Structure 1
Amino acid sequence: MKGFSVIGTSSTGKTTTIENIIKELVKRNYTVGTIKEIHFEEFKIDADGTNTSRHKEAGSSLVTARGHYETDIMYQHKLSVNEILKFYDHDYVVMEGVRDTSAPKIVTAHDIKGIEDRIDETTFAISGQISNSMTEYKGIPVINSITHVDKLVDLIEEKVFKLLPDMKDECCQKCGHTCRELSSLILGKKAKRSECLLDNQEVSLKINGKEIKMVPFVQQILQNTVEAVAKELDGYFENGDIEICIRR
């Protein structure tokens, strides 16, 4: 699953850019999912006094509202991007306003200051209102998503890669880089996506069929624990594969 984020201040053309990108990706037969970051601190979908709100107030930690045409699952806390992405299985996930990710980014802006406030090593394109007055900024292409969405999506197809696991910097760096650093190197063609060693884990853990990414020391703990038990059993032999399935 590939993913990228579009970031920028309000009224810079961020949502319009995303709308046009989604339409073009779908036109090219890709499946698309989206994540929208809401920066308004008081935001909540569920209004006070509704039945589902009363469920929450009574103590339910997970509330689901199911209608004829929509199902809304409401957690009572903020999920991390990685937790949210577990619900997706699309060709592309487009994130709006999400900055705490190593995924490649498109910046939308009114002016140069707006670019400078948001640009970082993972920025691969600039769009929004400023694209009416320039075509490049510090070597980064500036593309109007209204008049040249085809070129913008061509660039997305070229640059955007399978999402990195976004492990905490202090936990992994098995490849020699943080996830953000590796993302930057991949965008600059100085590294390959395959250099993320967590895609080829020696120890794998699946929950409900989905593989859970584990940093090296967690893999080692799991391996040592399982091997310590397995060694005491008939049928164990060195270097053999060990599989455990727990059904609940």
Structure 2
Amino acid sequence: MRVFGIVGWKNSGKTTLMERLVTEITARGFTVSTVKHAHHEFDVDRPGKDSHRHRMAGAQEVLLSSAKRWALMHEMRGAPETALPELLARLSPVDLILVEGYKRDAHPKVEAWRAATGQAALVFEDPTVRAVATNDPLDGTGVPLLPLDDAARVADFILREVGLVPATAR
């Protein structure tokens, strides 16, 4: 399974870059799935709906299904957070899985970095960061700097890194 991450501090442009990468890479004919790490409690259904009522009643898992999509919600109920490898194993096979967040995990990553966040670049402390996508000057990284607003260039880099295109392509 080919996995590549997009990491960075809050307001660094991660989600916008992810959205553009999915559009770019799927337009090239590759299948892509995404995993997004949330640092807070979140809900994907609404109070009062049947699925929400099932969860609130104590169901461990609730699967919603229609002719257009299905979604599985799994309640942790006090258990520790599920590790990324276990989550990845639950996904259907695709050409590439893009992971937003999980900056402490060991998969290869592109860091989205903006000086305006006031945070130091992760690349200086994280050897799994293979490139930095930025529009700001950043010296001494030892990895390629890619334009943050150029999803095609970032996609080229990722696709070469995971072996979906030859190193000499583009």
TM-score, normalization by structure 1: 0.56
| Distance in 1 of aligned mates of 2:20 and 2:2 | 18
| Distance in 1 of aligned mates of 2:75 and 2:132 | 35
- Contact 2:114 2:135 (C-alpha < 8 Å) held by counterparts: no
Distance change >3 Å, CA 66–CA 116, structure 1 → 2: closer
- Picking from 82, 85, 102, the partner of 1:82 is 85
- Contact 1:9 1:109 (C-alpha < 8 Å) held by counterparts: yes
Q: CA deviation at 1:98?
A: 1.7
Are positions 1:143 and 2:142 aligned together?
no
- 3-state DSSP of counterpart to 2:73: strand
Q: CA deviation at 1:35?
A: 0.4
One-letter amino acid of the structure 1 residue matched with residue 97 of structure 2? V
Higher relative contact order (Cα pairs below 8 Å, separated by 6+ residues): 2
- 3-state DSSP of counterpart to 1:113: coil
- 3-state DSSP of counterpart to 2:132: strand
- Contact 1:35 1:94 (C-alpha < 8 Å) held by counterparts: yes
Are positions 1:124 and 2:130 aligned together?
yes
Are positions 1:110 and 2:114 aligned together?
yes
One-letter amino acid of the structure 1 residue matched with residue 16 of structure 2? T
- 3-state DSSP of counterpart to 2:15: helix
Look up the match of 1:97: 101
Q: CA deviation at 1:72?
A: 1.4
Q: Please report the RMSD computed on the Cα atoms of aligned residues, expressed in angstroms.
A: 2.5
| Distance in 2 of aligned mates of 1:72 and 1:156 | 28
One-letter amino acid of the structure 1 residue matched with residue 70 of structure 2? T
- 3-state DSSP of counterpart to 1:63: strand
Distance change >3 Å, CA 119–CA 152, structure 1 → 2: farther
| Distance in 2 of aligned mates of 1:107 and 1:153 | 13
- Contact 1:107 1:123 (C-alpha < 8 Å) held by counterparts: yes
Structure with greater helix share of residues: 1
Q: CA deviation at 1:68?
A: 3.9
Look up the match of 1:159: 161
- 3-state DSSP of counterpart to 1:152: helix
Deviations 1:137-164 (A, max 9, x none): 4221221242x333222221222369xx
Number of residue pairs matched by the alignment: 157
Look up the match of 1:59: 58
- Contact 2:123 2:141 (C-alpha < 8 Å) held by counterparts: no
Q: CA deviation at 1:121?
A: 0.6
